[in-house]
Amino acid sequence: MPAFRVGILGATGAVGQKFIRLLQDHPWFTITALGASERSAGQAFREATVWREPSFLSDQVASMVVRACVPEEFDDVDFVFSGLDSGVAGEVEPAFAAAGISVISNAKNFRMHPDVPLVIPEVNPSHLDWVKRQNWSGEGAVDENSAKKKGFIVTNPNCVAIPLTMSLKPLYDAFGVKQVTVTSMQAISGAGYPGVPSMDIMGNLIPYIPDEESKIIEEPLKMLGVPAGSGNEFPIYPTAVRVPVLEGHTLAMVVELDRGGVTEEMVRAAMTDYVSPVADEDLPSTVDPAIIVHTDPFSPRPRQHADQASGMATHVGRIRCTETVQGTIVSYITMAHNTIRGAAGAAILNAELLASKGYFGV
């Protein structure tokens, strides 16, 4: 694999810092440029922001001068990751793509765009091919045979949509899904820094997260290939709750299956035996198994399990089945690290798959 030079847009933010932490020692990607707002541009990274990750920040990255997020300032990268605030990602990301700099984005702005892949490599890697339909510069779509490919945008899903979709995929494939009811217990790190005021969240929970539930309804359906309006979609009924946990979103799932007669053993086997379509790709950030099924009824727990498997696994536990006249209802808990598996790590895995498939050109 050739080495790729990468930039990080929104490098000073919570997700941007996670990108830096995960990329500092990456075997394929080398950070060559950092971007943020005009407030930070022109300063060394270590002066522009406070490093909050629980890991070493290299001198090389700390001394990089932060740039404004305009493509002309990023002429020394092969592609960029974006952890930009959604208020600016809508303008900045297409400007980079139009300039021929592909964007692997963590922002919400283009997730539901019909030509933009919304990808979990272990679920829907073939959607990456949609980048060929994109045309941000107005000069024609990506030509897979041309030496200099045009820029594209690829997104990863919302931090709840990832464990929801990962854990649902084996059930969807094996038994069919009629509807899903989910209550998410979301860590405070999901709100960025400084996030929810400590006096609101300590010893407390907040039963509403603005702008969250619509993403939980829409994004899994796009990834499973049954987008809203397709006629094959199933309803998802979410309740998003903020809880006093630092890292790791936990979801209480109730899934009505298309068929009856499904037992806990069958559900456990479907999840345990699930073979990721990229299992053989040898990507640096994949983990095996992609889904860790716990039999201890007190697991998974965010503090004990979110960091396991480099924070990239989806955990499942407390599988229970109830038989009804309409079919089997499966209840379970799923949990994943929200800022690694649910954000920066997800984008890096997407980029690894794109790199291994040759999408970044030469």
Residues labelled as active-site residues: 159, 249
User: Closest residue (Cβ) to ligand NAP?
Assistant: 13
Of the candidates 223, 253, 228, 360, the residue with the CA atom closest to the CA atom of residue 315: 253
Helix (H) or strand (E) holding 163: helix 161-175
With CB under 6 A as the contact rule, the residue among 116, 253, 343, 348 that binds ligand NAP is: 343
106 binds ligand NAP (CB under 6 A): yes
- Contact between 348 and ligand NAP per CB under 6 A: no
Q: Under the criterion CB under 6 A, does residue 190 sit at the interface with ligand NAP?
A: yes
Closer by beta carbon to ligand NAP, 149 or else 341: 341
The single residue listed with the structure tokens 């099924």 is: 293
Residue 7's DSSP bridge partners are: 33, 80
193 contacts ligand NAP (rule: CB under 6 A): yes
Q: How far is the CB of 280 from ligand NAP (least distance, A)?
A: 28
Q: Which of 165, 167, 184, 189 binds ligand NAP (CB under 6 A)?
A: 189
Q: Which is nearer to ligand NAP, 17 or 328 (CB)?
A: 17
Selected range binding ligand NAP among 19-27, 82-90, 143-151, 167-175, rule: CB under 6 A: 82-90
Residue selected from 83, 151, 238, 248 as contacting ligand NAP according to rule CB under 6 A: 83
DSSP string for 331-358: EEEEEE-TTIIIIIHHHHHHHHHHHHTT
Contact 113, 105 (CB under 8 A): no
Q: Which is nearer to ligand NAP, 3 or 246 (CB)?
A: 246
Which residue type occupies 56? Answer: F
d(CA 111, CA 115): 9
Minimum distance, C-beta of residue 1 to ligand NAP, in the bound complex (Å):
27
Cα dihedral sign for 120, 126, 132, 133? negative
Of 34, 157, 68, 35, whose CA–CA distance to 106 is shortest?
Answer: 157
Compute the chain's Rg from CA coordinates.
20
Give the footprint of ligand NAP on this chain (CB under 6 A): 10-16, 36-37, 39-40, 49, 69, 83-86, 88-89, 106-108, 159, 189-190, 192-193, 338-339, 342-343
